[in-house]
Amino acid sequence: MAAAEGGIDADIAHLAFAGGAMDMIDAWFANIDARMIEALPAEKIDAMSIRQRIIALVTARLKLLAPDREALRRALAIMAMPTNSARAARLGWRAADVMWRAAGDNATDFNHYSKRLTLTTVYAATLLVFVDDDSEDWAESRAFLNRRIEGVMRFERAKAKWKGAGGGERLSLSRFIGRLRYPAV
């Protein structure tokens, strides 16, 4: 249907997107990634805090997706199909990775993965709110995003406080098991 609407021969469209709808969604999201980077180059977001950068990047993506919310709704439905779940997860991961890299993240340790996983879930949840958001300038979606980011920040603060408790002693499974067997007197 998209090829017919665009005046493109169906056989050529099949060659361009041999994987069907998921290939089209992949290409569309890659275009969104590139346009997001153009809209928020490094020199534009360098003065922002990391939190502000992530919010700005997600918001930029929403603005780019806004004219095609019905197509986004259909794309999300296609990606939710069990046969497409692995590829959908890769697309979500890629979006989070592009956003984190644009935000200046260069972590190579466990944080690299945890940041992307966290942003993937926040972004996916925000998209689900966004497709049905009829508020002015998507105020409900932006408020939802801010609440999710604040929740992540509260968790990170609690985690840092918990790690700092105990005089620097780290959680150790072997020490815990040892204390079960030989309790301190």
Domain ranges of the chain: 10-165
Distances (CA, A) of 54 to 33, 57, 88, 115: 14, 5, 21, 11
DSSP state of 70: H
The per-residue pLDDT for range 84-139, each reduced to its tens digit, is 999 999 999 999 999 999 999 988 888 889 999 999 999 999 999 999 999 998 99
Q: What is the pLDDT of residue 142?
A: 95
SS3 132: coil
Task: Classify domain 10-165 at the CATH topology level.
Answer: Tetracycline Repressor; domain 2 (1.10.357)
Q: What is the pLDDT of residue 169?
A: 58
Q: What is the pLDDT of residue 48?
A: 94
- pTM, two decimals, is 0.80
Q: Is 100 in contact with 115 (CB distance < 8 Å)?
A: yes
Task: Compute how many other C-beta atoms are within 10 angstroms of the C-beta atom of residue 149.
Answer: 19
